[in-house]
Amino acid sequence: MIISPNEIERAVAALRDGQLVAFPTETVYGLGADASNADAVRRIFAAKGRPADHPLIVHLPDVAALTDWARDIPPAAWQLAARFWPGPLTMILPKAPHVPDVVTGGQQSIGLRIPDHPVAGALLRAFNGGVAAPSANRFGRISPTLAEHVQSELGDAVALIIDGGPCRVGVESSIVDLTGEQPALLRPGHISASQLAEVLGSPVIQPQRSTTRAPGTLDSHYAPLTSTQIVS
């Protein structure tokens, strides 16, 4: 699906004005706000009904922007970025001092990724900054993979919904925590622990239960609303 430059310009203007913009990524549709604008980010939490202690993922236009949002970046982050970015991998790193606490749920770490989608890429490059963007749905609901899902979930809470067609991957990004002594996969996704370990040359642990350190880990986030039968 082709998106006109005019629509990207409108989305950038809305973000700079502190409004919310829903846009497609390869994983799911994101609900975006200027990550440097604390008031705009609070609108994400209000629209989703999301608890304030649940951190958001900041989407970046390129790898160079990593140093704008994180500090004390370990070699492992650069290795993974070289292999998997743009792509469905979020890395948790120590946050830069200027990052608003509302973005990180009050934590001293931040989740960062570069989406692998032409619309998301065009938007982020034109905006030339970080966009905080959880999935564009009510808190605890299944993530949207079509623009109409966003409209039915959030409606007028969003200034603009960019329709980029269906999302290619359809599940949220894998989240790897690089702030500890050993890399930890906090949220499984399209990229597996074994793929990460292959790049790093060392094991990646998988905690039994994640915490609010990683977004999108509630069981209800992946549960359908209709009755489901498993047929063997």
**All domains of the chain in start order, with CATH:** 5-222 (3.90.870.10)
The pLDDT value given to residue 222: 47
Around Cβ 6, how many Cβ atoms within 10 Å?
Answer: 8
Each residue's pLDDT tens digit in the chain (232 positions)?
A: 668 889 999 999 999 999 999 999 999 999 999 999 999 999 999 999 999 999 999 999 999 999 999 999 999 999 999 999 999 999 999 999 999 999 999 999 999 999 999 999 999 999 999 999 999 999 999 999 999 999 999 999 999 999 999 999 999 999 999 999 999 999 999 999 999 999 999 999 999 765 556 666 555 444 555 554 555 5
The pLDDT value given to residue 142: 93
Contact between 159 and 14 (Cβ < 8 Å): yes
Separation between Cα atoms, residue 51 and residue 180, nearest integer Å: 25
Sign of the alpha-carbon dihedral angle for 49, 41, 91, 184: negative
The pLDDT value given to residue 3: 80
Separation between Cα atoms, residue 226 and residue 20, nearest integer Å: 29
Task: Compute the half-sphere exposure of residue 191: CA atoms within 13 Å on the CB side of its CA.
Answer: 26
The pLDDT value given to residue 35: 99
Q: Which residue has the tokens 């970080």?
A: 130
Q: Which residues, other chains included, contact 65 with Cβ-Cβ below 8 Å and sequence gap of 6+?
A: 129, 130
Question: What pTM does this model have?
Answer: 0.91
Looking at residue 65, its amino acid is: A
